[in-house]
Amino acid sequence: MLIAAAWLFSGIAEDVINGDPLTVIDGNLARWFHARTTPGLTKVMLAISDAHDVLGITIMASTLALWLLWRRNCIGSWLWR
């Protein structure tokens, strides 16, 4: 997997350096999203991004562990502790 990821990354890096169509599509797509952004959508996307910090992951893992305990899935809850 590491070799495949490195190969894919090097291919994308080469496209960026050479200005291949991938970078043109990426720029067009970024401009399209930027033109259609709204304050509400920005808040939602920031909330999704913030959910991946330490506090967000702790809350999600704790919620899953409690749900597994509630379902009496002791093995599953021990795996998530």
Residue-wise pLDDT for 8-47, tens only, equals: 999 989 988 988 888 888 889 999 989 999 999 999 989 8
Give me the count of residues in the chain: 81
* CB atoms near residue 15 (< 10 Å): 15
> For position 74, what pLDDT does the model report?
65
> For position 8, what pLDDT does the model report?
94
> For position 61, what pLDDT does the model report?
86
Lowest mean per-residue pLDDT among 5-9, 36-40, 52-56:
52-56
Q: When comparing pLDDT for 22 and 79, which is higher? A: 22
